[in-house]
Homo-oligomer: A and B are copies of this chain.
Amino acid sequence: MLIVQKFGGSSVADKERIMNVAEIIAKTHNEGKKVVVILSAQGDTTDELLQKAAEISENPSEREVDMLLATGEQQSVALMAIALNSMGLPAVSLNAQQIGISTSSTHGNARVLNICGERIPAELEEGKIVLVTGFQGINEYGDITTLGRGGSDASAVAMAAALGAELCEIYTDVDGVYTADPRIVKNAGKLDQISYDEMLEMATLGAKVLHNRSVEMAKTHNVNMCVRSSITKAEGTRVVNSGDIERHAVVGVAGDLDVCLVAVREAKNETGSLYKLFSVLAGHGINVDIITQFKGDSFSEITFTVSKKDAEKTLKALNENKNHLAIETIKTDGSMAKVSAVGVGMASNPGVAAKMFEAIYECDSEIFLITTTEIKISVLVNAGDYVKVMNAVHEKFELGRTNQITK
């Protein structure tokens, strides 16, 4: 049985944390499993290296930044090999060049294309624990690339897919995926299982335990993932195919306070106005989240949300194109919060939306915008009602620790 284990930077930040992780790896190895370990750079190493580059140049070449940053993971894998060796275990560290991870050529945000090397299977065959640098690859020119945020998770999933691993364990400093953020909803419970699609929605909506790219990749290659804590070592949350888990209407409630509502009223109901409006926003690099449209007889109103940091830029872009877009009025409101219920079973469970609206009505909060997908219902409420609404919805779907759905 082959397991891929990934440990983040805080898990290998110092000697004590390294030895702690070495024990987790050793335990897995001693159970007779083949183990491939993906490591991130130690603690703040990546930030320190970026700082060094920034001191020299405000705008350093991305190729050279990747060359610089890649050293962080290489240090981690070498130190971990030394730690495992000191426990009498056979281990070998390998960097991206040695294992042959090929990626696209975009420095700083490359995508894994292929893992073609023979080295890992050969080392595993010899009984060795293989330690691999996360976050990095090699492009077609032989240059080192890095995979961007969440890159080590992506390395781990790509590795698990390429090697046909039975399980890809992502160790982090939380002990799994929760039904809601425990800082907001005190009664939030840890999920034993969650589907890829639910995880994708939860991640997007603020439960940032896993980065979406790794979940998408796991879904595509059908890799069984597990999120667990390197500190408590408790059983974590398995992220699996939705076909493999019991269907529940709602698995979790996610929230987001980084929301600015924009309402644009157009003078006339012109064909192609939606296209023109969002082309302008895209041209300014503004990401839009929820979009709704109301069409009246004499005017139409388009309402959408953007990240708060983009609010000013959005206003400016729209004002500059007011005539071109035939805009009558623009209103923005940054005092909003998004609350979403997520669950693959939602589509086959009628009444989920009604139940959610009921919860919000009962706690005396107003809904400003609604958007739904097959596995998610999101509403915009006043930011001041955020905690109240999160808890009310969480309770309405009986997601609390005492009612945990996947038990």
Chain A interface residues (CB < 8 Å from chain B): 15, 18-19, 49, 52-53, 55-61, 63-65, 67-68, 70-72, 74-75, 77-79, 81-83, 85-86, 92-93, 95, 97-98, 119, 142-144
Decide: A56 and B18 in contact? CB cutoff 8 A.
yes
Decide: A68 near B75, CB < 8 A? Known: A97-B97, A98-B142, A142-B98.
yes
Q: Report how far A144 CA is from B85 CA in the complex, Å.
A: 18
Decide: B74 and A53 in contact? CB cutoff 8 A.
no
Q: Report how far A143 CA is from B98 CA in the complex, Å.
A: 8
In the complex, chain B residues whose CB is within 8 Å of the CB of A15: 52, 55-56
Decide: A82 and B98 in contact? CB cutoff 8 A.
no
In the complex, chain B residues whose CB is within 8 Å of the CB of A19: 56
Decide: A81 and B64 in contact? CB cutoff 8 A.
yes
Q: Beyond the given A68-B78, A119-B142, please list 18 additional residue pairs across the A-B interface where CB-CB is below 8 A.
A: A15-B56, A53-B79, A56-B82, A57-B82, A60-B82, A61-B82, A61-B85, A64-B78, A64-B81, A64-B82, A65-B78, A65-B82, A68-B74, A68-B75, A71-B71, A71-B78, A95-B97, A95-B144
In the complex, chain B residues whose CB is within 8 Å of the CB of A98: 97, 142-143
In the complex, chain B residues whose CB is within 8 Å of the CB of A59: 86
Q: Report how far A59 CA is from B88 CA in the complex, Å.
A: 12
Closest B residue to A82 by beta carbon equals B60
Among B70, B79, B144, point to the contact of A52 (Cβ < 8 A).
B79
In the complex, chain B residues whose CB is within 8 Å of the CB of A63: 92
Decide: A56 and B86 in contact? CB cutoff 8 A.
yes
* A–B complex contacts, Cβ < 8 Å, 21 sampled: A53-B82, A57-B82, A57-B86, A61-B85, A64-B81, A64-B85, A65-B78, A67-B78, A67-B81, A67-B93, A68-B75, A68-B79, A70-B74, A71-B74, A71-B75, A71-B78, A74-B74, A95-B97, A97-B97, A98-B142, A98-B143
* Best-surrounded residue of A19, A79, A85, A119 (most CB of chain B within 10 A): A79
Closest B residue to A69 by beta carbon equals B78
Quote the shortest CB–CB distance from A265 to chain B (angstroms).
47
In the complex, chain B residues whose CB is within 8 Å of the CB of A49: 75
In the complex, chain B residues whose CB is within 8 Å of the CB of A61: 81-82, 85
